[in-house]
Amino acid sequence: MDVVTQQNSSPPLSDVAFGNFVIVLFLVAQLLDGIFTYLGVAAFGLSEGNPIIAYYMKHHGVGPSVTVAKVLAVACSMVLHLLGMHRTLALLTLMYLSLAVLPWTYLLFFAR
């Protein structure tokens, strides 16, 4: 008689904790980027570095353009999170923090 062993299909707790940490950090980065982008463009007249979003800002306004961009980014991040692609999401989070949040932080709070 064969002994059937049941395999645990859930990831280890450390992977779950890492994935949860990364998605929360990504969401915080998106929130900060959205707020800083809105402040920089609407309040201070700075320009958006992404030409696609800058185009939509010109034609649809700053608020709606930033909102749609952030909702799309969050939706895509949820797909990555649910697929367990946490390292990819971590890399994207680091990119957002270094290429979007840090420059906006400098421009809004230290450059003046």
**CA 74, CA 4: separation in Å to the nearest integer?**
41
Q: What pLDDT, on the 0 to 100 scale, is given for residue 13? A: 78
How many domains does the chain contain in total?
A: 1
> 8 lies in a domain?
no
In sequence order, what are the residues at sequence separation of 6 or more whose Cβ sits closer than 8 angstroms to the Cβ of residue 15?
84, 86
Q: What pLDDT, on the 0 to 100 scale, is given for residue 21? A: 97
Task: Quote the percentage of the chain above a pLDDT of 70.
Answer: 91
Q: Which residue is listed with tokens 């400098």? A: 106
> 96 lies in a domain?
yes
**CA 34, CA 48: separation in Å to the nearest integer?**
11
Q: The domain containing residue 78 runs over which residues?
A: 17-110
> 73 lies in a domain?
yes
> 5 lies in a domain?
no
pTM of the shown model: 0.86
Phi first, then psi: give them for residue 9, nearest 5 degrees: -90, -5
Residue 1 predicted with pLDDT over 80:
no
* pLDDT tens digits for range 69-88: 999 999 999 999 999 999 99
